[in-house]
Structure 1
Amino acid sequence: MLGSPGCFIFIFLLCQLTGPAASRTRKELVGALGGAVTFPLNHSVNEIDSIIWIFNTTPLVTIQPNTPDGQANIIVTQNRNKERVDFLQGSYSMILSKLKKKDSGVYRVEIHSSSLQHPFTQEYGLQVYEYLSKPKVTMGLQNIENDTCVTNLTCSMEQGGEDVTYTWKSLGQATNESHYGSILPVSWRLGKRDITFICEARNPISSNSSNPIFAQKLCEGAPRDPTSSMVLKLLVVLFLLSAFALVAIILIMRKERGKVSEFIEEKKRTDNQQETLNYNPPSGETAEYDTVSHLNKTVPEENLVNTFYATVQIPPKMEKHDSLPTSPDTPKLYTYENVT
């Protein structure tokens, strides 16, 4: 079967694919902000007519290696890149320096040759990162449960947070532990051995660690006595009960004081009515009589003959009320006449 025509055709097609088609696998590169990166160019093309470096869709550099004087002709399409572009000696691998964030993207090189049916191509993916600064650690809400301080620590970057991974290291325990992720749950029993937490941030070009954080410092602001919150609640309840009792007493006292005031007012009204009944001002149409009471209710029979009869003289009607007596108790004048 190895000598069959179909096998030779398959081998021929495979050889064609190992040329330009097999060279299209992208190579991922990373660079540091302000640094330099090299785009390696490995090929087996002999008769090279031209080499073109392309950034995204824009031509960056064009190279003509075969010139009459034997010197390669290098053309940089953008003037701002002339000082940033260079090539390795004896090779056409490109070096890009003074990297910027906007240099991140897709680069492609094309090698054109009359010996190739299609140009040889190679793609690169460049990602420019910043050097990481010291990560920032923030603490969540504290909570005390059964003499245990519970909280969360969060590690973050203020700048350059692309493709950053976080690792927590806990030092001071029987076995040092590691935790992956930006958030670290902390559970530390009060009074136990102190634990040190360190956050390490890492990206493809650099790493940096936070300042050490001590569990004892994290929980020193929290109350150590677990019954303190219960005592505080009881004090609040007692205060509210006392306040309600005081308000009730004040209301009862005001109510009793109101009753006493009503009784006094009623007594005053009763006395005023009694005085009014004892004093009736004279009227021209109504005669006023005064009753003379005897000192002794019984009259001896032998004095019946000498009984005196009294006639009461009623004064004429007064024209003005100003002439009334000043007091209802002023004695009235009586005229007695003997009847024989």
Structure 2
Amino acid sequence: VSTASGTLMKKVGALGGSVTFPVESTVKQVDSIVWIFNATTLVTIQPAMPDKKATIIVTQNRNKERVVFPDDSYSLTLLKLKKNDSGIYRVETYSSSSQSPFTQEYGLHVYEYLSKPKVTMGLQNNKNGTCITNLTCSMEQGGEDVTYSWKTLGQGGNKSHNGSILPISWRLGERDLTFICTARNPISSNSSSPILAWKLCKDADDGGSYSSLVLPYLLLVPFLLCILVLVLFFTMRERRKGRACMIFVLTLIHPLSS
């Protein structure tokens, strides 16, 4: 049975960055040290002896240039972090003075740096000059463990709101408001471009809703007029054809009757 130095210690790393897992062993006489990633042996170390240098064996060639032991210690530094480096790292320190190894475990999660968050607007309700809608903040990629918050600037101070969705209500004539969303993960943060209330609510005036309802009907009027003109044209043409035909028939009948 292994002797544990404590509970699992959590570590976070940035994609492309580095992370160090320290060895805090109290073992005086170290015979060997083994670093394990998940269930696979990563590195085996044989400490230096008076007549022999330390032996370090990295089991996977792809990791040889990424594994470093700073200051000739047993602590492991992993360079050029990748997403699939996330997992459990365990170090086992073996000593002839103990029947079981002294172990430490680290849980690593590799995160991406956040890009600028995207803001979308929900359905807008314009009534009596008041614009009511929701703004939603989201990440297009790299969205693990992301939290969102909003800042509203204007109207005598700054207001904060936690969460990805911000409900807004703005009335025409009020001082303009500015909305900014900030996205955060354990290693970085990024903010959206400022969003102005008046640009979102251009139709919030009393006539805005009215015009949006009336406009389709106004566009329909010319179309109906065109149809009416065409119907009248063809009707008149058919009537003219009918009259011409009647005159022709009467012309034929008149000589016969005389």
TM bin (shorter chain): 0.7 to 0.9
User: Which residue is equivalent to 2:3?
Assistant: 20
Please state how far the C-alpha of 1:226 moved relative to its aligned partner.
5.3
2:187 to 205, 209, 218: 205
Q: Deviation of residue 70 (structure 1)?
A: 3.8
Structure 1 residues 231, 109: CA separation in 2 closer, same or farther (over 3 Å shift)? Answer: closer
Equivalent residue for 2:151?
169
Distance 1:156 1:232 in 2: 32
The 3-state SS of whatever aligns with 1:51 is strand
Alignment-derived partner of residue 132 in structure 1: 114
* SS of corresponding position for 2:29: coil
Partner SS state of residue 217, structure 1: helix
Whether 1:182 and 2:164 are equivalent positions in the alignment is yes
Change in Cα spacing, 1:232 to 1:93, as seen in structure 2 (3 Å) is closer
Q: Within 1, Cα distance between the matches of 2:213 and 2:112?
A: 51
Map Cα deviations across residues 113-151 of structure 1 (whole Å, 9 max, x no partner). Answer: 111132100000000011111111111111112321011
Any conservation in 1 of the 2:127–2:204 contact (CA below 8 Å)?
no
Contact 2:128 2:205 in 1 (8 A): no
Maintained 8 Å contact 1:144/1:226: no
Matched, 1:194 2:176: yes
Residue 37 of structure 2, aligned match among 41, 55, 67? 55
TM-score, length of structure 2 as denominator length: 0.79
The one-letter code of the counterpart of 2:153 is: L
Relative to total residues, which structure has the larger strand share, 1 or 2?
A: 2
Secondary structure of 1:89's aligned partner: helix
Q: Which residue of 1 aligns with 2:255?
A: none
Q: Distance in 2 between matches of 1:128 and 1:105?
A: 9
Deviation at 1:39, TM superposition (A): 0.4
Seen in structure 2, the aligned counterparts of structure 1 residues 133 and 230 have a Cα distance that, compared at 3 Å, is: closer
Matching residue of 1:82: 64
1:229 aligns with 2:210: yes
Indicate which of 88, 91, 100 corresponds to 1:106: 88
Counterpart CA distance in 1 for 2:15 and 2:208 is 55
Cα deviation, 1:53-90, whole Å, max 9, x if unaligned, reads: 00000000000004352421100000110100001214
Q: Percentage identity across aligned positions?
A: 68
2-structure distance, mates of 1:130, 1:202: 11
Preserved CA contact (<8 Å) 1:145 1:226? no
**Is the 1:33–1:99 contact (alpha carbons within 8 Å) kept by the matching residues of 2?**
yes
The code of the aligned residue for 1:93 comes to: S
SS of the counterpart of 1:216?
helix
Write out the 4+ residue segments of structure 1 that deviate beyond 6 Å after TM superposition.
none
The structure that has the greater radius of gyration is 1
Are residues 115 and 227 of structure 1, via their aligned partners in 2, closer, same or farther at CA, if it must alter by over 3 Å? closer
Query: What is the RMSD of the two structures over their aligned residues, measured on CA atoms?
Result: 2.9
Runs of 5+ consecutive residues of structure 1 not aligned to the other structure: 1-16, 244-340
Alignment partner of 2:210: what SS? helix
Inter-partner Cα distance in structure 2 for 1:147 and 1:125: 54
User: Could you state the TM-score of these two structures normalised by the residue count of structure 1?
Assistant: 0.61
After TM superposition, give the deviation of residue 31 of structure 1 in Å: 0.5
Amino acid at match of 1:32: A
Residue 105 of structure 2 corresponds to 123
Q: How many residues align?
A: 226
Distance 1:140 1:20 in 2: 56
